[in-house]
Amino acid sequence: MNEHPANRQHRPTRRQLTADDWADAALKALGERGLAGVAVEPLATRLGTTKGSFYWHFANRDALVAAALARWEEVSTERIITATEAAEPDPGARLAALLRGATALAAENPLEVRLLSAADHPVVAAALARVTERRVAYMTHLFELLGFPRAQARRRGFLAYTSYVGHAQLTHAIPGAVPAGPAYLEETVAALLRR
């Protein structure tokens, strides 16, 4: 049966979804419900499309998870490093701004905590390993710019990163356990920078 032309004019046109649209929706679902929340049908409903759109971009759910994690790496690590580099010339101020921003974001969005809890999934584990290494390497670089020897800079980079991860975990697991307000974070940064 052919559709009447007048009906075609009033039907809203759907935007063509991209793989990034699917990856972003998967990341949002992952942050809300963990890895189990990344399911094709609910994501298609959320995006206002069909499963056919999913299969146009991805062979299977694991491919979507991998794309979502690649998107997370780009948005939550590479873009933040690039923005931090562009915004602040002083490495100490860069480190403080990075920790402030990352800690605030982790308090608002449980995505990284959910990813850590899914570390037994091989694709998630690989992404977590890459992101951890990249973030620690960047903080190590900042500590080196501040004059710390390489080995000490690396230890401080790990200490800064584990402080961030622990803060994120506790903020979501036990609300109120981590001191609120900027003073706590400023003391943490000061301790990391102390010689």
Single-letter amino acid, residue 73 = E
Q: Is residue 182 very low, low, confident or very high in pLDDT (cuts 50, 70, 90)?
A: confident
Q: What is the mean pLDDT of residues 182-191?
A: 86
Closest CA to 101 of 119, 117, 72, 79: 79
Q: How much is the pLDDT for 185?
A: 83
Q: What is the mean pLDDT of residues 35-43?
A: 94
Q: What is the mean pLDDT of residues 31-53?
A: 93
- Domains of the chain with CATH codes: 65-193 (1.10.357)
Q: How much is the pLDDT for 57?
A: 93
Q: How much is the pLDDT for 186?
A: 86
| pTM for this predicted structure | 0.86
Mean pLDDT of the chain: 89
Q: Is residue 21 very low, low, confident or very high in pLDDT (cuts 50, 70, 90)?
A: very high
Position 172 pLDDT exceeds 70 = yes
Q: Is residue 9 very low, low, confident or very high in pLDDT (cuts 50, 70, 90)?
A: low
Closest CA to 27 of 118, 153, 138: 118
Q: What is the pLDDT of residues 73-112, one digit of tens each?
A: 999 999 999 999 999 899 999 999 998 888 888 888 899 9
The span from the CA of 148 to the CA of 135, in Å, is: 17
Angle at CA 183, nearest 5°, toward 145 and 172? 95
The span from the CA of 35 to the CA of 117, in Å, is: 9
The span from the CA of 161 to the CA of 159, in Å, is: 5
Position 167 pLDDT exceeds 90 = no
Give Cα 145 to chain centroid, integer Å: 26
DSSP 150-185: HHHHHHHHHHHHHHHHHHHHHHHHSTTSSPPSHHHH
Burial class (CB in 10 A: 0-12, 13-18, 19+), 189: buried
Closest CA to 146 of 79, 83, 195: 195
